[in-house]
């Protein structure tokens, strides 16, 4: 009894392991772009830009790699769209990418949209101007044949002015002597918001292969024959009882 139970547990564990391995093996890359095509415009690889002057390939920074750069002037909306990504036959769709703000403020935003789920990601571009890693599931994208992926930079005018005081001095000659005369003067300073950037890199969409439906059990021919014999025997027994 103990040996039988041990074999059963080992068999169950092996089955679970095989299923887990099969699930991991089904993961697939459905779309990928690292933008390493040189510093240039347009972006290429199927990306559609709403403005050639505001979307390009640019240096990543410390490495020789390239990234997709969205450039927004005050009160500007910049988009880059990848159309018709085919996810047919796959589920558990996950989108991953990296982004880095540059010269942007908290009122500037990066948003990601799809034609299936609308707004799926939004972040303020204020704060640290570092690389950030993002990864999340795309709800409603399972088995889709025409996913549109849209990156959108919304740049708002963060120009401002401020008043400040400064001491100004002049020299005057009084009674044959030079005298320094100083007074506080109020002045206005203008700070203009010229450009806001966001860099996008390593866009990746993955998914798991949708498993086939379970097979439908059909009786073997021998089993059908035995079933027929059983019915015939049951009928004969009923006839004998009737007589």
What's the fold here for domain 26-158+193-209? Answer: Jelly Rolls (2.60.120)
pLDDT tens-place string over residues 58-88: 999 877 899 999 998 877 899 999 999 999 9
- Closest C-alpha among 95, 80, 100 to residue 134: 95
What percent of the chain is predicted at pLDDT more than 90?
47
Check residue 214 and report its DSSP letter: P
Cα three-residue angle 181-184-189, rounded to 5 degrees = 135
Please count the residues of the chain: 243
Report the alpha-carbon distance of residue 78 to residue 50 in Å, rounded: 7
Please check whether residue 209 is in contact with residue 90, taking contact to mean a CB–CB distance below 8 angstroms. yes
Q: What integer best gives the mean pLDDT of the chain?
A: 81
pLDDT tens-place string over residues 132-151: 999 999 999 999 999 999 99
Give the pLDDT confidence score for residue 61 in this predicted structure.
83
pLDDT tens-place string over residues 87-131: 999 999 999 999 999 988 889 999 999 999 899 999 999 877 899
């Amino acid at each position: 009894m103990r040996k039988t139970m041990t074999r059963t547990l080992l068999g169950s564990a092996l089955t679970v392991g095989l299923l887990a391995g099969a699930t991991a093996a089904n993961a697939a890359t459905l779309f990928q772009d690292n933008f390493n095509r040189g510093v240039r415009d347009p972006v290429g690889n199927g990306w559609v830009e709403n403005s050639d002057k505001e979307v390009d390939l640019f240096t990543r920074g410390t490495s020789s790699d390239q990234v997709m750069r969205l450039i927004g002037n005050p009160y500007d909306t910049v988009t880059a769209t990848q159309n018709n990504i085919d996810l047919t036959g796959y589920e558990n769709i996950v989108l991953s990418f990296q982004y880095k703000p540059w010269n942007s403020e908290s009122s500037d935003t990066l948003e990601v949209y799809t034609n299936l789920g609308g707004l799926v990601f939004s972040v303020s571009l204020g704060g640290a101007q570092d690389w950030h890693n993002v990864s999340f599931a795309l709800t409603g994208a399972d088995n889709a044949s025409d996913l549109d992926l849209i990156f959108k930079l919304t740049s708002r005018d963060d120009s401002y002015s401020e008043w400040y005081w400064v001491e100004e001095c002049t020299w005057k000659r009084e009674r044959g002597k030079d005298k320094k005369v100083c007074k506080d003067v109020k002045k206005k300073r203008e700070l203009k918001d010229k450009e806001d950037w966001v860099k996008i890199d390593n866009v990746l969409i993955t998914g798991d292969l949708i498993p086939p439906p379970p097979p439908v059990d059909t009786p073997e021919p021998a089993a059908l024959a035995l079933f027929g014999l059983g019915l015939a025997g049951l009928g004969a027994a009923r006839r004998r009882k009737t007589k």
